[in-house]
Structure 1
Amino acid sequence: MINMEEWRHVFKLDPDKEISDEHLDKICESGTDAIIVGGTSGVSFDNTIDLLARVRRYLIPCILEVSNVQAVVPGFDYYLVPIVLNAEKSEWIFQRHVEGLMEYGSLVKWNEVATEGYIILNPEAEAARLTGAKTSLDTEEIKAYGRLADQMLKLPIVYLEYSGAYGDPEIVRQLKSVLHQARLFYGGGIRSADQAQEMSNWADTVVVGNVIYEDIGQALKTVAAVKGS
């Protein structure tokens, strides 16, 4: 049974990026709370199922973040479905979801699915360009998106995404202050234990991704930094 309320730290692995068996072993045995598999581009059924099979050798919960309906693979412990709240390309808010449900809706096990309300704030991020995200938001706008996700849509997760850039801890704090029930995920630009610990002061769950492929030693240090805070 997946309990996201217990997640403080998770690693995100991209199926389109190479990771050695040695480094994967260190990630899966690091003490992190879960592994999320997901990426913006280059994600296919084949590379997703291959990564799932490799992670399945470990006891760690393995979750698929669905960004491409054609790459949905059965066998994950749980599935996260993002809605990009500040997307200016409307298909990334609901249209893609409706298309997927028209084809596969009858097969979905809804007790294994949670929806994430994404707020993307790095204009250089691939996800921002893909979705046309309006990233030039002031703090009050960001808080309004948080309230939309939390109180109006009742989403279980609000995901503040900087994707490759380190965000502003004060924005994370301000966003957290308006959330009543949603869990706040933070992801983006964490490349050291200090950064991970700083974001964990406000985010419920810290997501660490790119540094896995840049500096495995620094990636591993983020686990204790977050879970010890």
Structure 2
Amino acid sequence: MQPVIFHRWRHAFKLDPDKELSDDALEAICMSGTDAVIVGGSSGITYDNTVDLLSRIRRYEVPCALEVSSEDAAVPGFDHYFIPLVLNTRSAEWMAGRQIQALRKFGSFIPWEDTSAEGYLILNPESEAARVTDARTQHDAESIAAHVFMADRLMRLPVVYLEYSGTFGDMGLVKRARSLLTGARLFYGGGIDSAEKAREAAGAADTVIVGNAVYDCLEAALLTVQAVQAVQLN
């Protein structure tokens, strides 16, 4: 049974502990009306910078989740925890390597009722995420469908995350991926730097994640909240 915390999320901001964000900017994000803030990143994540960001976010009432991409970021106190499994990695390390290592160390301390696996499909070959995880990023519609079937129907993962990380993806492929899901929720992230792109993504995915725009153009990032929440999914 899926945890209910992210069932109704339509919009979320993703904040990187390794990037600078002013108090004013963080307040604007947390008070924007977004459904959640997700803390996570591809590199430079430490216990200290994760704790620092969490303590700043906790001044506000917005739900806050942690994407645990490193043992160093295993910080208590979040509302929910996402454990990424990179579906299109060339390395077992990112599918069942680091995860097993962490479970051996922290398994008895994990709040399982507040923890969910994410099936990641990384689709931008130029992204840091693709480089770090050694992801096979070139996929046609049928290949993406096969990965979705594996995550949703074989592995029964609660979240499938299509990550274009820095570039705006093919919304036709995203929409088709969502139509194939029977239990998982489809997260989409990548290249959303305007209300127009946010609306387009909101018509294709269950949950739209806005990350880089927060640091590149905060004003545009804030406009994505209402743009996404105004779109009704079929």
Q: TM-score range with shorter-chain normalisation?
A: over 0.9
- Alpha-carbon deviations, 1:155-199, whole Å to 9, x = none? 000000000111011110111111111000000111000001001
Separation in structure 1 between the aligned mates of residue 164 and residue 152 of structure 2, nearest angstrom? 20
Separation in structure 2 between the aligned mates of residue 108 and residue 49 of structure 1, nearest angstrom? 17
The aligned runs of 1:19-98 (5 Å cut-off) are 19-98=21-100
The aligned runs of 1:200-219 (5 Å cut-off) are 200-219=202-221
CA contact (8 A) 1:157 1:184 kept: yes
Please point out which of 176, 187, 191 is paired with 2:193.
Answer: 191
- Alpha-carbon deviations, 1:21-49, whole Å to 9, x = none? 00100000000000000000001000000
Aligned pair 1:178/2:180, yes or no? yes
Aligned pair 1:160/2:162, yes or no? yes
- 1:114 is displaced (CA, Å) by 0.5
Calculate the TM-score normalised by the size of structure 2. Answer: 0.96
Paired letter, 2:118: E
- 1:109 is displaced (CA, Å) by 1.3
Q: Which runs of 5+ in 2 are unaligned?
A: none
Separation in structure 2 between the aligned mates of residue 18 and residue 112 of structure 1, nearest angstrom? 28
Separation in structure 2 between the aligned mates of residue 71 and residue 119 of structure 1, nearest angstrom? 22
Paired letter, 1:98: I
Separation in structure 2 between the aligned mates of residue 129 and residue 23 of structure 1, nearest angstrom? 29
What's the % identity of the aligned pairs?
54
RMSD over aligned CA atoms reads 0.9
Separation in structure 2 between the aligned mates of residue 41 and residue 225 of structure 1, nearest angstrom? 30
Paired letter, 2:192: I
Counterpart of 1:133?
135
Task: Give the ranges of 4+ consecutive aligned residues of structure 1 lying more than 4 Å apart after TM superposition.
Answer: none
Separation in structure 2 between the aligned mates of residue 157 and residue 185 of structure 1, nearest angstrom? 7
- 1:202 is displaced (CA, Å) by 1.3
Separation in structure 2 between the aligned mates of residue 76 and residue 173 of structure 1, nearest angstrom? 30
Please point out which of 117, 120, 133 is paired with 1:118.
Answer: 120
Separation in structure 2 between the aligned mates of residue 64 and residue 162 of structure 1, nearest angstrom? 20
Q: Which runs of 5+ in 1 are unaligned?
A: none
Q: 1:12 to 1:224 in 2, by over 3 A?
A: same
For this pair of structures, how many residues does the alignment match?
229
Calculate the TM-score normalised by the size of structure 1. Answer: 0.98
